Structure 1
Amino acid sequence: MSTTSEPGQDRSEPGLSAIVGERRQLINLAYRLLGSLAEAEDAVQETYTRWYTMPRHQQEAVESPGAWLTTVATRICLDLLGSARARRERYVGEWIPEPLPDRTEWIGGPTGAGTAEPADPADRITLDESVSMAFLVVLESMTPAERVTFILHDVFRYPFAEIAEIVGRSPAACRQLASSARRRVRAAQAPTAPAARQADVVRHFKEAWEAKDIKALVDLLDPDATMIADGGGLVGTVLRPVEGSDRIARYLIAVADKAPGLTLLERTVNGRPGLVAQQAGVTATVAAFSLTGGRITRIWAVRNPEKLRPWTENGQS
């Protein structure tokens, strides 16, 4: 895992603060493109490495360093998205995007609190609907070119002329890619429940799970609900989606029976109300939810410890 310090920094370098100041924007972009905080951090680190290894005269010839960094980071992400498809075909079980915490809910505050540059990249991600788990899952269904073009245009408001230069396609082709991506989003996404309503449902779900009340769990789940778990082959979990309210409820009760002392915490997951399950004080599962009509339609349960780094290294308890 790369560190967040920039290689070869020279504090006398003209415009250094502006260059470093682009990191938040780049991390925000890369996470949405890749669905992985670890990969996003590495992509941004590689972007900065390329900048700092350029001779000074080449740096000074760059008219807009921010635009240069965005272009390089996006192209790195585009390459990673291409290889990610092959890697995920070999992935053990289901692959779910890496969940993000809300730093305001960290007990004791995040590492680096009060510093000018947060220590953890998760602290640089702006939590909004474009990082909700439901939205990120839809992005996974897109081709790399669709995903990049859609995120750059519809989320970050880049004009198609600039996107065309970044991705190496014509502006007309980029418009078509964005249009195709929007159709995927419209087809897959249900109306988002208000956060307060989702928080109430998740709270009742937590209470029913703690009480091992199958009927209450079934009542909170849509009859056609689906639960997907991601253990990455590193921890035990179901390898295929669990479908149907009754099957999900019984599976959750079985999990509780096998894990005495399981603690459930209400937490914000990717900007929406979710749950964190801890065993002996250690975060073991982070669950995100999607609701329709006041009932839970989707549960995404991330158990892969490699994807829970932000939840285990910053005093999350």
Structure 2
Amino acid sequence: MWTNKHYLKYVVMDIYHLDSFLSDRNWDLENPKVVDLGRPQQTIRCSVAVLNEVWCGYRNRIYVVEPRTAKIKKWFETTTRPESQVRHLATAGEGVWVSVRLDSILRLFHAETGQLLQEVELDPFIQKMFGFVNLGFFMTKVSSMAVFCNRLWVGTASGIILSFLFSSGLCSESTAKESEPERGPYCSLEHAQVSFHGHRDAVKFFACVPACINTSSLGGEGKNTGNFNMLVMSGGEGYINFRIGDETGDTCEDYGELLMANPRSRKSERSHLIIWQLQI
């Protein structure tokens, strides 16, 4: 029997299993294995599959759970502040990127040892890119995070979207120690990018899908460059171009009344998907 998949709720983790030997392949929802992560009771904010284990973000800690035995293998603190909460987890090769609520520092931990490999602070980078633009208190607070196309994608509560290209070793901006191993998906701040196209409110999510390529536009029939395109999308409320500020007077766009809850609302206030095309 192969035990996998998990379902998280408040202070405990319930593990359900799927019997791959049965013809109907039904989930056993009547007999879950329960893992209690301790007190005080708080919500489990996030989880992710890492190798053959499950990492759970609970309070300021990461709990590593073995799903087959429903046992806590180990736990470690992501920050020394006990009132903090781990909000986002994203796996990347031999590492896991972690964000903490109301914290502008991203942390990279080794997937096997839990060792802290790198810290990346968003405040100086965004201030350098945007200058003295006033984006509010939550300018660099992380609201979404994902790993696509050899990059770490980060969305903030103020609608800013950043992309960090992974490098094989430590870069000069990293706060990791020189004695640590040269391995893992480190973020290269030298190749970091910030999008001037963003959302008016928090970035809610990221998604990635293959792009449809028109071979006739490649300059020759049957031409194969060995590369393919991916589309990375961000979702959030509203749209803003940070180079020119907020939009006004754009109520006449022909989007169709059936596609909008309020056809009279401004374009910048409607929910938007922002899409980037990447060649990998």
Give yes or no for TM over 0.5: no
**Structure ranking higher on relative contact order (CA contacts 8 Å, 6+ apart):** 1
What's the TM-score once normalised by structure 2's chain length?
A: 0.28
